[in-house]
Amino acid sequence: MSFPKKGKYFPEDSGNDGDGSDPEGHFASRIASALHRSFANSRVGVKTVARWTGANERAVKNWFSGRYGPRGEHLVVLARHSNDVLGAFLKMAGREDLMVALNLSAAEHAIVELLAAVRGLNRAGGPTEQSVI
């Protein structure tokens, strides 16, 4: 690498030698994919994530583009609000089993709520099991 003729900054470098060993880029692209899945290319995604994390909108746009990844405290907030980001993080950490457990817990909670709603209909004079069958 040669020094620039003018200015005080080094030329921008990608940080890897072409062997795919850029962990920041790998991390950033996985988080970007998770953010896109969470917001389905919604226009309000950047503003929503910026509001959740307190980060600058320019930084959030960089997260969405995969240029940079969020810092630790921002990642924690994103994982709190987005199951897609949480799942991506757990997959990168090699802990996919935890995501399965979370999904089972969510399914169990949904079944309990559905059962309560059905029981509420029966008490309110809704259709009984015999009239449905």
pLDDT at 16: 47
Question: Which string of b and e fits 47-86 if b means at least 16 CB within 10 Å?
Answer: ebbbeebebeeebbebbbebebbbeeebbebbbeebebbb
Phi and psi at 39, nearest 5°, equal -110, 0
pLDDT at 75: 95
62: CB partners within 8 A, 6+ apart = 68
pLDDT at 19: 47
| Pair 93, 79: CB distance under 8 Å | no
pLDDT at 10: 52
| Pair 65, 79: CB distance under 8 Å | no
| pLDDT tens by residue, the chain, 133 residues | 566 566 555 555 544 444 445 555 699 999 999 999 999 877 799 999 999 999 999 999 999 999 999 999 999 999 999 999 999 999 999 988 888 888 888 899 999 999 999 998 888 765 555 555 5
- pTM of the full predicted structure? 0.62
Phi and psi at 126, nearest 5°, equal -75, -175
pLDDT at 45: 92
Which of 77, 76, 68 lies closest to 28, judged by CA?
68
Overall size of the chain counted in residues: 133
